[in-house]
Amino acid sequence: MDRERDDLTVTEMKFDSDGLVPAIVQQHDTGEILMLAYMNADSLQKTLETRRTWFWSRSRKKYWMKGEESGNVQEVFEVRYDCDADTLLVRVNQVGAGACHTGERTCFYRTLPLAPESADGAEMPLS
**Residues at the contact surface with a copy of itself, assessed by CB under 8 A:** 1-4, 6, 8-10, 22, 24, 26, 30-33, 35-36, 44, 46, 48-52, 76, 78-84, 87, 89, 100-104, 107-115, 117, 123-124, 126-127
Report the b/e string of 73-95 with b at 16+ CB within 10 A. bbebeebebeeeeebbebbbebb
Provide the minimum distance between the beta carbon of 55 and a copy of itself in the complex, in angstroms, as a whole number: 13
Return the number of the residue (36 or 95) whose C-beta is nearest a copy of itself. Answer: 36
The residue among 24 and 95 lying less far from a copy of itself, judged by its C-beta, is: 24
Q: What are phi and psi of 10, to 5 degrees?
A: -55, -45
Q: How far is the CB of 101 from a copy of itself (least distance, A)?
A: 7
Using CA atoms, how far apart are residues 53 and 96, in angstroms rounded to an integer? 15
**Using CB atoms within 10 A of its CB, is residue 5 exposed (0-12), middle (13-18) or buried (19+)?**
exposed
Type of residue at 64: W
CB of 102 to a copy of itself, least distance (A): 5
Residue 27: beta bridge partners? 92
CB of 79 to a copy of itself, least distance (A): 5
